[in-house]
Structures are given as structure tokens and as C-alpha cells.
Amino acid sequence: MSIPTKFIVAVVCFDHRIGPEVEFVYPPPEEHREDESWQDIKDILPLLALPSRHEAASDKTSSTCFFFHIPSKDQSVAVQSWKGVAYYDVIHPHAVHGLDDDTLAKFSRGAIQKSVVVVSKTPYQAYVKAKLEAMANQFFAQVPSFGDVGLVVELHDALSSMDFEALSWPQLHVGLPLPALVRATDVHLAGLLRLLLAEGRIVFYSSSPEVVSSSVLAFLSLLPGGAGDFHATPSRPH
């Protein structure tokens, strides 16, 4: 089975006047006008890409990187769903030079909250996360000239040209907390996998969006065929 290689990258920010919004998207919006799948996800994407300040604070740092999932609205057919990775960080507005009054009004609570997001239908989100983290560290380090989206476009081009079928299993699942998952579930791991295959309900919980979403993906990677495609309600880490 061929691996989907269509990627959309975006920058999502929290505007304190109107809430979460997509600030930048690539490929540009005009290329998505006839794309029904993009029309389905563009409104919910800002809500999934930004954790609450409480969730972000649980990671003991201003930044966090986590996975989320946007299943197809049409559950009657086997449609591959969109999957996302978001790298979130907080920057003090006064650390950024040249912000006009309108921009400062967006961040009136003393924090610029942004996420760089990659959405795609490839099941190998751990590999995407590794590439996103490397780029996002540079993106958020651009202070005081913050906001160069050229890095975001470069990430899109690099991912789109990647031959995922040539990568090994360890490369595709790089960074997933498999040892920690095995230790935490211990003798119950096999039973949990059987429960999932029988369409049972399993809830993962953590106050950290990065920990809980990585654990879910690690668990799914143990299934035959890896994480693959799975159906659920539109979800963010809990």
C-alpha cells in the first residue's frame, strides 16, 4: 500500500481578541479551494493545535510537541483520516522587535502563543514529529526577527520529497516512548492490545499533551501494520 505524501503545514496563533486562528498555511489557501478535505479541517485545526496554558505548563517548559487526529466525517467508507503534529511555544511580545499596535493587541495578555503544525494522512507521525521539532526550534529562535515562514515552507518541501517506503521501522517510529509504555503496562499490554482489536475502549490520561499523545501513538505502533489508520472522534490530547 502506498503511503500518502500530501502535507499541509500551518502556523496557528492565539489571538486574544478572537481566539485561535490559522495565521499561515502552505500550500497557500487558494490551492485548497477545491479540496474538500482541507475545507473539513481548516476550522477545527486551530482548536486542536493549541493546548491550554494549563496543559502546556504541565510539561514544565514553554514548549511542547504533541500529536492529534482528525478523522474523516464520512465513516461509511474506508477514508484515510488527517493526522497532525503540533509544536507549541510561548514568547514574550517585548522580546520581538517591530510589532505594530494591531499585532500587540492580539497578544494583550503578555504572551505570543503559537504552534507550527503539520497535517497529513501518513501514518508515520513520529518521523514527522522529529522533522518538525528540528525546524520549530529554529523557527521559535528567530527572536527578535520572529516570524520567518520560509522555514515552514522548507519543512513542507522536505517532507513532500521524502520516500517513506525506504525508511526502516525504527526510523518511522523514532522517538516514541515504547520502553516506557511496556514498563507502565507490564503484564497488561497483551490484554490491552487484544481489547483494542476487539474494538474495546481504552483511555490514556496525562496532564501533558506530549506524554499522552506519544503514548497513544506508541501503543498503536504495536498493532499489525503499525499505527496505520484508525477511526475515532476528532481528538486532542487529554
Domain count within the chain = 2
pLDDT, position 3? 60
> Are 132 and 152 part of one and the same domain?
yes
pLDDT, position 119? 92
pLDDT, position 131? 93
Identify whether 236 is part of a domain.
no
pLDDT, position 220? 84
pLDDT, position 157? 93
> Are 145 and 182 part of one and the same domain?
no
Query: Does 82 score more than 70 pLDDT?
Result: yes
- Band (pLDDT 50/70/90 cuts) for residue 51 is confident
Q: What is the pLDDT of residues 127-158, one digit of tens each?
A: 899 999 999 888 888 765 566 789 999 999 99
Query: Does 232 score more than 50 pLDDT?
Result: no
> Are 126 and 194 part of one and the same domain?
no
pTM over 0.85: no
* Alpha carbon distance 207, 59 (integer Å): 8
* Alpha carbon distance 171, 124 (integer Å): 9
CATH of the domain at 25: 3.30.450
Identify whether 56 is part of a domain.
yes
Identify whether 238 is part of a domain.
no
> Are 143 and 212 part of one and the same domain?
no
Identify whether 156 is part of a domain.
yes
pLDDT, position 234? 42
> Are 80 and 147 part of one and the same domain?
yes
Query: Does 99 score more than 70 pLDDT?
Result: no
216 and 203 Cβ atoms separated by less than 8 Å: no
> Are 119 and 59 part of one and the same domain?
yes
* Alpha carbon distance 39, 32 (integer Å): 8
> Are 103 and 186 part of one and the same domain?
no
The residue that leads in pLDDT, 58 or 185, is 185
CA distances from 39 to 30, 34, 64, 131 (A): 12, 8, 27, 26
Quick one: cell of 137? 526550534
> Are 125 and 197 part of one and the same domain?
no
Identify whether 229 is part of a domain.
no
pLDDT, position 138? 87
Identify whether 228 is part of a domain.
no
> Are 191 and 130 part of one and the same domain?
no
Domain that holds residue 213: 176-222
* Alpha carbon distance 63, 90 (integer Å): 7
> Are 60 and 143 part of one and the same domain?
yes
pLDDT, position 162? 85
What is the rounded average pLDDT of the residues 164-169? 80
What is the rounded average pLDDT of the residues 112-123? 88
136 and 87 Cβ atoms separated by less than 8 Å: yes
> Are 84 and 132 part of one and the same domain?
yes
Identify whether 235 is part of a domain.
no
> Are 129 and 209 part of one and the same domain?
no
Q: Domain ends where: 143, 166, 189?
A: 166
* Alpha carbon distance 53, 90 (integer Å): 10
Identify whether 41 is part of a domain.
yes
